[in-house]
Amino acid sequence: MDPSDWLSTSWKERLWKAFIAFWVLYILAPPVMLVFISLDTASYVRVPQGFTFEKYEMMLQSEPLIAAMKRSLVLGVATMGIAPFLALLAVLSYRKTAYKSLFVGAMIVPLFVPGVVQGFSLLVLFKQLGFDNPFVAELIGHVIWAFPFAFLVLLTSMSSVREDVLLASSDLGANELETFRYVIFPLVKPGIISAVIFSFVLSFNEFSRTIYLQGGDNTVPTYVYAKLQVELSPEVFALAGMTVFVSLSLIAVATVFLYRAGGASADDG
């Protein structure tokens, strides 16, 4: 029996409204507030009363901040190329393994390891190996973090690929590469795009692993953290506002792709 059947229609409506209120007030409102504060004319925190891009102009004039943004962008682009690719290989392997539950559990283990523990353990490992390349170390940490999310997105997307379609492709003489190119890839393409976007956002905003692995060069999150230890400068609000806007926009795009993929899958079914 579906547990939701135990609730009356009125209670279901109340719970849904409570969830929406929680999501808006405690999850969406705080970061969105930073966007409005970054556009306010005051240099301190208050209820926004004006509109200006002055904080963003100050942000663009800060060379250390620009350097941090460039490093975050490079790491994000590299992560969004590597993590989804590895996740796609893992999902294709998942379809052939007999131990599916164990396989999924192994792939999503990084989700349950605290970032500070994972970052510190990677730092210790790299030091023991004599590895001294902070950028590659950061990239490895970011890929480990983004990989499980990309895997779960692609695993969900792969559910639209039916076995009878793959068997039909094989019966028509297509090899595995051709089957992937002409059958699997078009079906999971929205999932791949979503995995790429999520991987970039996760990398760009990653802090807890980066702080241990970065060496001497800041990324956007570590720059903000270091700056806040000294002062609450206007460009920090601009950087936070820009990051929130870009992150929410990319997540919205990824969600649309996943929604369309789910709708197409339902129509095919």
Residue at 58: amino acid letter: M
d(CA 127, CA 133): 10
- What is the average pLDDT value for the chain, to the nearest integer? 83
Residue 52, C-beta contacts closer than 8 angstroms, at least 6 positions apart: 39, 40, 41
Q: Are 222 and 134 in contact (CB under 8 A)?
A: no
Angle between helical axes of 63-94 and 134-158 (0-180°, round to 10):
40
Using CA atoms, how far apart are residues 14 and 145, in angstroms rounded to an integer? Answer: 36
Kindly tell me if the per-residue pLDDT of 46 is higher than 50: yes
Q: Which two tokens stand for residue 252?
A: 């919205």
Judged on CB neighbours under 10 Å (0-12, 13-18, 19+), 61 is: exposed
What is the helix, strand, coil percentage profile of the chain, to 5? 80, 0, 20
pLDDT number for residue 137: 94
* Confidence bin at 249 (pLDDT 50/70/90): confident
Q: Tell me, what's the pLDDT at 211?
A: 92
Identify the sign of the CA torsion 226, 252, 23, 114.
Answer: negative
Which pLDDT score, from 0 to 100, does residue 173 have?
74
pTM of the model: 0.80
**What's the full length of the chain, in residues?**
269
At position 81, the amino acid (one-letter code) is G
Residue 218, classed as helix, strand or coil, is: coil
Q: What is the pLDDT of residue 1?
A: 47
Q: Which has more confidence, 96 or 68?
A: 68
